[in-house]
């Protein structure tokens, strides 16, 4: 049986025809990179792709407590997307300067960099075996290199 012209169009559903809440849930199951790509498709998708309900899924559930562990205040942001972008471009010094927290830009994976003082090193506090030397060019405010 042959379809008449326009009959196929009536039976197909486009993504942007779904309710915004459904689209947001679908986008939240993808990656930050996919959401950014989809936001370029249409103004309707851009609106949903920029929503906090989507970007909340890409932030760690405890992001507020992680941010609170930083001695450096971060700016207030209009949206969770702006916060995500900030955390993926500006690593955050936390835990008395012993760790750095950031988000991997394309996947949203959590990244921690540990300073040497945050490691449990056998005889690390024994001067006969280890000497802690401060490095001014270090990414950690109080990061110190171990030498022997």
pLDDT above 80 for 116: no
User: Residue 119 has what DSSP assignment?
Assistant: S
Q: What is the pLDDT of residue 17?
A: 81
Residues 18-65 have pLDDT tens digits of 888 999 999 999 999 999 999 998 888 999 999 999 999 999 999 999
Domain ranges of the chain: 14-58
Distances (CA, A) of 29 to 56, 80, 121, 141: 11, 16, 40, 37
Instruction: Return the pLDDT at 49.
Output: 95
Q: What is the predicted pLDDT for the residue at 145?
A: 39
């Amino acid at each position: 049986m042959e379809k008449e012209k326009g009959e196929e169009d009536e039976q197909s559903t486009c993504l942007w025809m779904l309710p915004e809440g459904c689209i947001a849930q679908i986008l939240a199951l993808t990656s930050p990179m996919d959401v950014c790509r989809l936001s370029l498709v249409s103004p309707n998708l851009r609106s949903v792709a920029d929503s906090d309900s989507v970007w909340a899924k890409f932030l760690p559930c405890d992001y507020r407590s992680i941010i609170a562990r930083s001695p450096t205040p971060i700016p207030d942001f209009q949206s969770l997307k702006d916060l995500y972008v900030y955390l993926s471009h500006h690593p955050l010094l936390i835990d008395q300067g012993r760790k750095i927290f950031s988000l991997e830009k394309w996947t949203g994976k959590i990244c921690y960099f540990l300073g040497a003082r945050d490691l449990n090193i056998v005889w690390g506090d024994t001067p006969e075996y280890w000497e802690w030397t401060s490095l001014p060019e270090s990414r950690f405010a109080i990061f110190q290199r171990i030498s022997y």
